[in-house]
Amino acid sequence: MNEKPLYVKVSDILRDDINSGKYKANYKLPSENMLANKYSISRLTARQALSVLVNEGLIEKFQGKGYFCKNSASGKHIHVLLDMTDYYFIPYYIHSIGRVLEENGATFIAGDTKNSFDEIIKLLEKITASGSDGIILQVSPEESFDKEKISNAFKKLEEKKIPIIQIDADYGVDGVSYTIMNEEKMGFTAANYFKDSGHSKVATVYVTDNRICVQRLGAFIKEFDNPYIIYDDDLLKENLIKAYNEGVTGVFCYSDFVAKKCIDVFSSLNIKIPENISLISADDTLVSKLYKLTAMTHAKEALGEFAAKAIISNQLPVYKIFDTSLIERNSVK
C-alpha cells in the first residue's frame, strides 16, 4: 500500500485539530512557514495541505492575512431533547448547551421528553425520519424501560448517520455516547461524612423507579447496618417523624428537591437542623445554597457544555463521567 503524500498527512492533522475544537471558528491557523518548520516540509507542501482544507470548506484564505478556520458548525441543526417540566436542572442545561451551540453557529431545536421513555422513543423516531445534525438527549430515569426498543432507536439513528449523546444518565446501550455524574460516589461520600461526624443511625429518602436514585442511595446504604429507607410519597411526613422518634440523627436526601420537603416537615414540628437532626442533600442547586445545606455537587453546566461540544465536533463515541465532591455548610452536626 502506498504511503500517503506529506501534504495529505499534514491536512489530516489539521482537520483533526479543527474537528476536535482546537482551532475554533475564526481562529487563525499557523502560516505556511510555521507549518513547514513544524513538520519539516517545504512551504509548497504546507500550501498544498492548507489548500485541501480550503477546498473542503473548513478554512478560508484571506490575501495578506493568512488562513482562518471557518465556522464548521454553522448551519447545523441540533435537537436538544430535555424534560422541559424539570425546572431543577433544565435552566443549567439550556444555558450551557445553548451557549456552545450559539458560539458555533448551530441552531438549537428543543424537544420535550416529558420525562417519559415512551415520549423519547416517539421523538427519536420522528427525528430519524426528518433528519438532524445531532441529538443531545436527557435520559429518562425509569428503572424499567424497554432495552430492545431504545437499542433499535439508536441503531436507526446510526444508520442515518445522526450522532447522539446522552446526558444525566444512559440506557446502557454499547457504543452510544454519554456524559454523566459519578452517582455512586455521591452516596459513598455522604455516608462517610456522616460516619466521620459521629452518626451511626441514619435514614435515606428515596424516590421510586429512578435509576439515579438507586445508584446514589444504594451506595449510601451499603455503608450502614439497617439504615431507615423512607420513600418520597404520601407517608413521607409520618415516616420522617417515626425515624426521628426512633433515634435517627442524620438523613441523606436523594436531591435538593426532596431535601426541601424534609426541611418543611421538620420545620413544621420545630425540629431544628442541625441541632436536632442533620441533613445532607445532593446536586447543590439554589436550594442547597439558600438553606445552607451540606451537599454533594453536580456538574450541571459542565455536563451540558461537554455534550454540546462533543456533538458539534462529532468526535464520538465519548464516555465522560464527572466527579463529585462534598460542600460543607451548616446542616450536619
Span 185-211, pLDDT tens digits: 999 999 999 999 999 999 999 998 899
- In 3D space, the residue among 203, 266, 193 whose CA is nearest the CA of residue 231 turns out to be 203
> How many CB atoms neighbour CB 314 within 10 A?
15
Same-domain pairing of 227 and 239: yes
Q: Which domain holds residue 47?
A: 6-69
Cα 17 to Cα 49: distance, rounded to the nearest angstrom: 14
Same-domain pairing of 187 and 285: yes
| Structure confidence at residue 283 as a pLDDT band (50, 70, 90) | very high
**In a domain? residue 23:** yes
CB distance 205 to 258 below 8 Å: yes
**In a domain? residue 223:** yes
Evaluated on CA atoms 111, 85, 301, 188, the torsion sign reads negative
Alpha-carbon Rg for the chain in angstroms: 25
CB distance 223 to 248 below 8 Å: no
Q: What percent of the chain has pLDDT above 70?
A: 98
Same-domain pairing of 278 and 140: no
Span 150-182, pLDDT tens digits: 999 999 999 999 999 999 999 999 999 999 999
pLDDT at 1 exceeding the cut of 50: no
Helix (H, G, I), strand (E, B) or coil at 327: strand
Same-domain pairing of 102 and 158: yes
pLDDT at 76 exceeding the cut of 90: no
Same-domain pairing of 214 and 171: no
Query: End of a domain among 24, 53, 69?
Result: 69
**In a domain? residue 332:** no
* pTM (predicted TM-score): 0.78
**In a domain? residue 147:** yes
Poorest-pLDDT segment among 24-33, 111-120, 153-162, 237-246? 24-33
Span 122-149, pLDDT tens digits: 999 999 999 999 999 999 999 889 999 9
> How many CB atoms neighbour CB 3 within 10 A?
7
Cα 258 to Cα 262: distance, rounded to the nearest angstrom: 7
Instruction: Name the grid cell of 87.
Output: 425546572
Same-domain pairing of 203 and 288: yes
Alpha-carbon dihedral 151, 157, 162, 163, rounded to 10 degrees? 0
Average pLDDT, the chain: 92
**In a domain? residue 1:** no
Same-domain pairing of 187 and 206: yes
Query: End of a domain among 22, 42, 69?
Result: 69
Query: End of a domain among 69, 90, 107?
Result: 69
Cα 257 to Cα 332: distance, rounded to the nearest angstrom: 18
pLDDT value of residue 241: 96
**In a domain? residue 165:** yes
Same-domain pairing of 141 and 281: no
Q: What percent of the chain has pLDDT above 90?
A: 78
CATH number at residue 59: 1.10.10.10
Number of domains in the chain: 3
CB distance 150 to 144 below 8 Å: no
Same-domain pairing of 238 and 144: no
Poorest-pLDDT segment among 125-129, 157-161, 263-267, 309-313? 309-313
**In a domain? residue 220:** yes
Cα 103 to Cα 110: distance, rounded to the nearest angstrom: 17
Q: What are the backbone angles phi and psi of residue 222, rounded to the nearest 5°?
A: -60, -25
Mean pLDDT of 260-274: 96
Mean pLDDT of 47-57: 89
Q: What are the backbone angles phi and psi of residue 103, rounded to the nearest 5°?
A: -60, -30
CATH number at residue 149: 3.40.50.2300
Same-domain pairing of 56 and 97: no
Same-domain pairing of 190 and 287: yes
DSSP string, 31-98: PHHHHHHHHT--HHHHHHHHHHHHHHTSEEEETTTEEEE--TTTT-EEEEEE-TT-TTTHHHHHHHHH
Same-domain pairing of 192 and 223: yes
**In a domain? residue 333:** no
